[in-house]
Amino acid sequence: MAANEMSGDVYYPSEDIVNNAHIPDYDSVNDKAVADLTGFWDEIAKENFEWYAPWHTTLDDSNAPFYKWFVGAETNIVHNALDRHMHTATRNKAAIIFEGEGGDERIITYHQLNRLVCKFSNVLRDQGVVKGDVVTIYMGNIPETAVAMLACAKIGAMHSVVFGGFSSEALLGRIEDSKSKMLITCDGAWRRGKIVDLKAMATVAAEKSTSLEKMIVVQRTNHDVEMKDGRDFWYHDLMADASDKSETARLSSEDNLFILYTSGTTGRPKAILHTHGGYMVYTATTLKWVFDLKDEDVWWCAADPGWITGHSYIVYSPLVNGATSIMYEGTPDYPTPERWWQLVQKYGITILYTSPTAIRGLMKYGSELPKKYDLSSLRLLGSVGEPINPAAWKWYYEHVGNSKAPIMDTWWQTETGGFMMTPLPSVPLKPGSATRGFPGILPDVVDKDGNSVKPGEEGTLVIKGPWPSMLRTIYGDDERYLKQYWSEFKEQGWYCPSDSAKKDEDGYIWVIGRQDDVINVAGHRLGTAEIESALVSHPAVAEAAVVGLPDDVKGTIVKAFCIVNQGNETTPELGEALRAHVGKEIGAIAKPASVAFVDSLPKTRSGKIMRRVLKAQELGEDVGDLSTLAD
Ligand code: PRX
């Protein structure tokens, strides 16, 4: 069965799971939250977090959709993620357990992490970083990435993490867009036994940038790199002299925490803005309730800190909860497809949160590999990034979770900051559905007039109300924020995530996929416009269109259609060169799986490329209504 097909199977949690869960009864908590949303969050925020000064208004909706939460409060997410744990037993607990691709291991306690963050915050201050500055972070999946993020937050600077798989051009675009003056990077990152030379790419970006002044370089791979005097500094040199005493900045709840770029429908990625107070409260609460986080858990979110999943659920919310978070540098199948199962056994991991792509990738090696290891510590599993097809869900459930660990399929976005639709451990599961809203979240599936669709009908997913960790705007572009997320159902004031979905008789929601020109490859968002503009920046290409096609492992792969400029031969070598060119412009994740050369592209009379026609042709499907086709 394909993803999104509504399956009839229901999996009920064991009595043991229900009785031990933080929230044993979804309905009563959800009813309470829906009846009094602000009262609900007010109570949670007061009971579970420390604030330097209280708020006077829980939710300010007077200038909606520019919502504000915990207005008037003073806090800093780092106070809750680190400072407050220095007075409890958490101080001596492992905050981050890091394992490198090659098997090197580092266990960093809360005390040690705090010390590193204090020192690095002083380094940043010494280098002239002040509140409100944007610091770009371009690193691998190593503890220093978390240290850098937390150090920025501690002094009130915003971080902008750029995934280490992006190219120097993509990095440059994000540095320039955010006018970032400081970059933190590594000499290199380990990837399948080879070094990805992040410093070399950072240098290319730095040399072209009009805003960047300084670069701090963490040593990871120890290969030779070029350092420019006065611009480039070694992290270890600066850290050696830095004081480990550092005050956490007293910020307002609505002060900016970070921006994170994500793909949209234009060629220009959007800088999604999150703030301290609401993001802290929502991400920490969702992690605690959905994954039933307890003091003794070993939590593994197998994402990269370069994406929102890593920001919210590797770095911030586990630390705010005082949990132990695993960080693994490598890919699931290197040097062996047993790597993940080795880690689960070695560290006694109790909760594993990953993507359908990773599950399908491991599933193809068969169920013998997970069987070789003791995975009995796992008590809960999670999935994120794309719809999970029931076959992968069932494999994960049976062979990884030993048919006893429920799977939390969490639907959310960079924009939402935290889980929006998700089961809780006590909720009956249906493979392929992210079930219903987190308590207080009101998702619905509607037609274009905003009427709820009937069970089984496809419609547009909307969220009917604000939540604490919602994006505050697109940094520097309020207009685009309004247009992108709030214009489709402006009258009703609903948030529109650009996903299509169905609902079933029980009110469970089944996400189908993106409605806009965004392709979800292996759980990563890529804009068709971004890839097309990379293709046409190659001198051989006159016009380009890309579409997403179904793939057994990655969910979706990219196929490109190009019209070449006269005088260019449409050879396989050119196809390869274009794939490499996209890799250089954006990053390897955006490389088309294949490139086809065509004489024309289907367009509307107004000149808009009809990608759905190309896609239908590729899939041998009915091309549908062609009345707007020009030719
Ligand atoms: O289409 C949805 C899909 O991923 C999009 C958000 O992508 P991004 O901002 O990169 O964040 C990914 C990780 C939170 C959504 O609009 N998506 C995410 N999770 C799910 C999903 N689709 C179906 N089921 C999910 N659990």
Tell me the per-residue pLDDT of 231-288, one tens digit each, with 9 for 90 and over: 999 999 999 999 999 999 999 999 999 999 998 877 789 999 999 999 999 999 999 9
C-alpha to C-alpha distance for 140 and 220, rounded to whole angstroms: 9
The DSSP code for 91 is G
C-beta separation of 605 from 538 below 8 A: no
Q: What is the mean pLDDT of residues 67-72?
A: 98
Q: Give 578-630 pLDDT, tens digit per residue.
A: 999 999 999 999 999 999 999 999 988 878 888 889 999 999 988 877 777 77
Say what the pLDDT of residue 6 is. Answer: 72
Q: 312-323 pLDDT, tens per residue?
A: 999 999 999 999
If you measure from the C-alpha of residue 310 to the centroid of ligand 1, how many angstroms do you get, rounded to a whole number?
Answer: 13
Protein residue with its CA nearest to atom 14 in ligand 1: 413
pLDDT at 5: 61
Mean pLDDT across 298-315: 97
Q: Which helix (H) or strand (E) holds 176?
A: helix 168-178
pLDDT over threshold 70, residue 528: yes
Indicate the pLDDT class of residue 1, thresholds 50, 70 and 90: very low
Task: Find the mean pLDDT for residues 103-129.
Answer: 98
- 309, 386, 438, 514, best to mutate for ligand 1 pocket (most atoms within 8 Å of CB): 386
Amino acid found at 38:
T
Helix (H) / strand (E) containing 287: helix 276-290
**Angstrom distance (rounded) from CA 287 to CA 277:** 16
- Tell which residue, 554, 559, 552, 537, has the closest CA to residue 167: 537
Q: How confident is the model at residue 357 (pLDDT cuts 50, 70, 90)?
A: very high
Share above pLDDT 90 across residues of the chain, in percent, rounded to a whole number: 92
CA of 221 to the centre of ligand 1 (A): 32
Choice from 316, 410, 411 to test ligand 1 binding pocket (greatest atom count within 8 A of CB): 411
Per the structure block, which two tokens stand in for 284? Answer: 């920490």
The Cα 556–Cα 584 span in angstroms is: 21
Residue 626: predicted pLDDT: 76
Is the Cβ atom of 520 under 6 angstroms away from ligand 1?
yes
Name which of 200, 176, 172 is nearest 186 in CA terms: 200
Q: Which amino acid is at 614?
A: L
Ligand 1 pocket test: pick from 511, 519, 521 the residue with the most ligand atoms within 8 Å of its Cβ. Answer: 511
Question: What domains appear along the chain, each with residue ranges and CATH number?
Answer: 106-252 (3.40.50.980), 441-516 (2.30.38.10), 520-619 (3.30.300.30)
Q: What is the DSSP letter of 314?
A: I
User: Does ligand 1 come within 6 angstroms of the Cβ of 387?
Assistant: yes
Q: Which residues of 342-351 are buried (b: 16+ CB within 10 A; e: fewer)?
A: ebbbebebbb
| Confidence (pLDDT) at 7 | 65
Name residues whose C-beta falls within 8 Å of residue 539's C-beta, 6 or more positions apart in sequence.
Answer: 565
* Cα–Cα dist 151/142, whole Å: 15
Tell me what pLDDT residue 606 has: 78
Ligand 1 pocket, 162 CB below 6 A?
A: no
pLDDT tens-digit series, residues 205-222: 999 999 999 999 999 999
Q: Assess whether the C-beta atom of 443 lies below 6 angstroms from ligand 1.
A: no
pTM beyond cutoff 0.75: yes
Q: Looking at 100-199, which runs of residues are DSSP E strands?
A: 105-109, 134-138, 158-161, 182-186, 189-191, 194-196
Q: Is the pLDDT of residue 3 over 60?
A: no
- Distance (Å) from CA 453 to ligand 1 centroid: 22
CB contact at 8 A, 44 and 467:
no
Listing DSSP states for 589-621 in one string gives GG--SEEEE-S---BBTTS-B-HHHHHHHHHT-
Q: 101-110, 121-130, 508-517: which range is least confident on average?
A: 508-517
Q: How many Cβ atoms sit within 10 Å of the Cβ of residue 512?
A: 17
The continuous run of DSSP H or E covering 517 comes out as none
Ligand 1 neighbour 412 (Cβ under 6 A): yes
Do 133 and 156 contact (CB within 8 A), yes or no?
A: no
80 CA to centre of ligand 1 in angstroms: 27
- What b/e string do you get for 153-172 counting C-beta neighbours within 10 Å, with b at 16 or more? bbbbbbbbbbbbbbbbbbbb
Q: What is the crossing angle of helices 528-536 and 572-585, to 10°?
A: 120
Q: Dump pLDDT digits (tens) for 543-585.
A: 999 999 999 999 999 999 999 999 999 999 999 999 999 999 9
* Atom 18 of ligand 1: nearest residue by CA position: 385
Report CA(421)–ligand 1 centroid distance (Å): 11
261 lines ligand 1 (CB under 6 A): no
Distance from residue 96's CA to the centre of ligand 1 (Å): 26
Least Cα distance to 175 among 226, 137, 127 occurs for 137
> What confidence tier does 73 reach under pLDDT thresholds 50, 70, 90?
very high
Ligand 1 pocket member 386 (CB < 6 A): yes
Q: How far is the CA of 573 from the centre of ligand 1 (A)?
A: 35
Q: Say how many Å lie between the CA of residue 31 and the centre of ligand 1.
A: 26
- pLDDT exceeds cutoff 60 at 198: yes
Mean pLDDT of the chain: 95
- Which residues have C-beta within 8 Å of that of residue 451, sequence separation ≥ 6? none
Predicted confidence (pLDDT) per residue in 393-420, tens digit: 999 999 999 999 999 999 999 999 999 9
Rounded Cα–Cα distance for residues 500 and 368 (Å): 37
Q: 204: CA distance to ligand 1 center in Å?
A: 32
| Per-residue pLDDT, 608 | 82
* Contact 525 CB / ligand 1 (< 6 Å): yes
* Token digits of residue 156: 């009130």
Name the E strands within 362-489: 380-384, 407-410, 443-446, 458-463
Residue 192 confidence (pLDDT) = 94
